[in-house]
Amino acid sequence: MNIKTIVTTVVAVIISAIILLYSPSTKALEPKPVYRVYLAGKSIGLIEDKDALEQHIDTEQENLKEQYDVSKVYAPEDLKIVQDITYDEKISTTQEMYEKIKDVEPFTIKGYAITIKGVEVMTETEEKTMTPDQTIYVLDKEVFENAMDRTIRSFVSSENYDNYLNNTQAEIKDTGTIIENIYIENKIIVKEANIPVTNTIYENEEDLSKYLLYGTSDAQQTYTVQDGDTLSDIAFNNKLSNQEFLIANPNLKDENSLLYTGQQVTISIIQPQFRLVEIDHTVFLQEENYETEVRYDNTKLVGTEEVIQKGEKGLKRVTSKVQKVNGQTESSVIDTSATETIKETVKEIIVRGGRQPSYGYNITGNTTIEGYWKWPTVIPYTINSSYGYRWGTLHDGVDIGGAYGSPIYAANNGIVVDSSYKYDNGQYIIINHNNGYYTMYAHLSARYVSIGQNVSIGQEIGAMGQSGYATGTHLHFGLFQGYPYRSGSRSLQPLSLFS
């Protein structure tokens, strides 16, 4: 055997030995299909069977199935299981992987995620902002639909709402209201989803409608009616408007509902979670107060008075378009072309004595018209918001709706102590009536008087507008005892001037 043959044989033996030596390791390094498990974006290991893990989770969570009355429980929302391969990485058993998961992230159940999108609103500093989006979870879409219907009926009477839905509203013959449109301003998105069981999940319409109305599922505050309590007093003392109080207490029909001692009423401030817009076509009768003219007769003694023409109120039939949001009037527009005068006013004329008595002291007649205040806007008008609390904040005047640019009148004689602009009041005027009382006229589109100017009752001092923090065209008319918003001042019910 020559040397070449010997070398070839040795090399062949060595190669064979190497193949035999390493062939088991080569077999061990063959790729194996598995599933990689990620929790909150982080890999937590491998499993052989995805279905087995999901089934194990469902089997182990019988308590959740009983609690929510569902047939299946699913993996946590942040758990992702993807196909992978491994060579020698450790593979966890189904039980081992379940133990890694169960105390880290909550398990989920099938349901619906309902997103109520925010809407654009104006802040008190005249800045536009979006209300936040929010997501509500339910197991059954009908729970949400029924809760929404129930909440809507808190703002609109069931009879009126059903007539609107069924197109059975009665035609207006003399006076009355027809609902032209009702819609939810927020966009609502309903999606089927796996819901983490740590989230609030509404299982019945009662709990969800409470949340939609009050912004909380907590128990509502209540008050026990005492002797002498009136509905208006209870509402005002708890920072509610009468309308809000009635919404919170649907068993009470209207503001004239009788209360009894010991009765439990809800006094929580409502915070609706969506904006329900209602557009009404309304026809109503409106009285027009008569003016009073005072004449002086110097042939009669001071202190004597005679009514030579008795005043009579007028009456108009007014048509308006009213926009309400969550049951509260937000704006109104009067159709002046449709206004009918049913009865004209008759001016009252009073004659007072102007002759001084001859026995020593002097009495001067009062140039202010006592007992008479002029309505500050043209007639007809609407009352958009009354004096009192709304959404937990005191509304310290009355909002009177009318046409943009229409005249605003001084309610009585006085001197202008402020005529300016402020972010919330917009263009505004304050008049001192020299008897301890002040009136304020806000949200004007124009001002025709300046500080220090004397004004007479009925004098045109400005024009109605929407300046400042205002929704819709209106006059905010305020009455104060003492200079408004200064120490010792307090707001009063402006309508008391005209009762």
Q: Which CATH superfamily is domain 120-167+184-266 in?
A: LysM domain (3.10.350.10)
Longest CA–CA separation in the chain, Å: 169
Give the residue-averaged pLDDT of 278-292.
93
Give the residue-averaged pLDDT of 74-78.
94
Please report which confidence band the pLDDT of residue 125 belongs to, taking 50, 70 and 90 as the band edges: low
pLDDT over 60 (residue 7): no
CA pair distance 319, 297, nearest whole angstrom: 43
In the structure encoding, which two tokens stand for residue 84, read together? 């992978």
* Residue 401 contacts residue 464 (beta carbons within 8 Å): no
- What is residue 123's predicted lDDT score, i.e. its pLDDT? 66
In 148-271, the DSSP E strands lie at: 176-184, 188-196, 201-202, 222-224, 264-266
pLDDT over 70 (residue 9): no
- What is residue 14's predicted lDDT score, i.e. its pLDDT? 58
* Residue 250 contacts residue 307 (beta carbons within 8 Å): no
According to DSSP, the residues that pair with 450 across neighbouring strands are none
Give the residue-averaged pLDDT of 449-462.
95
Q: In what helix (H) or strand (E) does residue 341 lie, and over which residues does it extend?
A: strand 340-343
pLDDT over 80 (residue 302): no
The dihedral formed by the CA atoms of 318, 319, 325 and 331, expressed in degrees to the nearest 10: -70
- What is residue 124's predicted lDDT score, i.e. its pLDDT? 61
CA pair distance 82, 238, nearest whole angstrom: 57
What would the pLDDT profile of 194-253 be if each residue is shown by its tens digit?
Answer: 999 999 999 999 999 999 999 998 888 999 999 999 999 999 999 998 989 999 998 898
What would the pLDDT profile of 392-405 be if each residue is shown by its tens digit?
Answer: 889 999 999 999 99
* Pairwise pLDDT comparison (372 vs 369), residue with the higher score: 372
pLDDT over 60 (residue 16): no
- What is residue 368's predicted lDDT score, i.e. its pLDDT? 36
* Pairwise pLDDT comparison (406 vs 293), residue with the higher score: 406
- What is residue 391's predicted lDDT score, i.e. its pLDDT? 79
What would the pLDDT profile of 41-58 be if each residue is shown by its tens digit?
Answer: 999 999 999 999 999 999
Average the pLDDT over each of 117-131, 287-301, 358-372, 455-469 and give the range with the smallest value: 358-372
CA pair distance 74, 87, nearest whole angstrom: 30
* Residue 289 contacts residue 132 (beta carbons within 8 Å): no
- Give phi and psi for 8, each to the nearest 5: -60, -40
- What is residue 204's predicted lDDT score, i.e. its pLDDT? 93
Domain ranges for the chain, please list them: 33-105, 120-167+184-266, 276-498
Query: Computed from CA positions of residues 62, 64, 65, 69, in that sequence, does the dihedral angle turn out positive or negative?
Result: positive
- What is residue 1's predicted lDDT score, i.e. its pLDDT? 52
Residues 6 or more apart whose CB falls under 8 angstroms from that of 203 comprise: 68, 138, 139, 143
CA pair distance 111, 139, nearest whole angstrom: 4
Q: Are strands 134-138 and 490-492 parallel, antiparallel or unpaired?
A: unpaired
Give the residue-averaged pLDDT of 309-337.
92
Edge-first strand order for the sheet with 42-47 is 42-47, 32-39, 79-86
* Residue 491 contacts residue 479 (beta carbons within 8 Å): yes
Please report which confidence band the pLDDT of residue 120 belongs to, taking 50, 70 and 90 as the band edges: confident
Q: 276-498 adopts what CATH topology?
A: Glucose Permease (Domain IIA) (2.70.70)
- What is residue 390's predicted lDDT score, i.e. its pLDDT? 81
What would the pLDDT profile of 256-266 be if each residue is shown by its tens digit?
Answer: 888 999 999 99
- What is residue 126's predicted lDDT score, i.e. its pLDDT? 61
Q: Is 424 left (phi over 0), alpha (psi -120 to 50) or beta?
A: alpha
Please report which confidence band the pLDDT of residue 366 belongs to, taking 50, 70 and 90 as the band edges: very low
Give the residue-averaged pLDDT of 65-70.
93
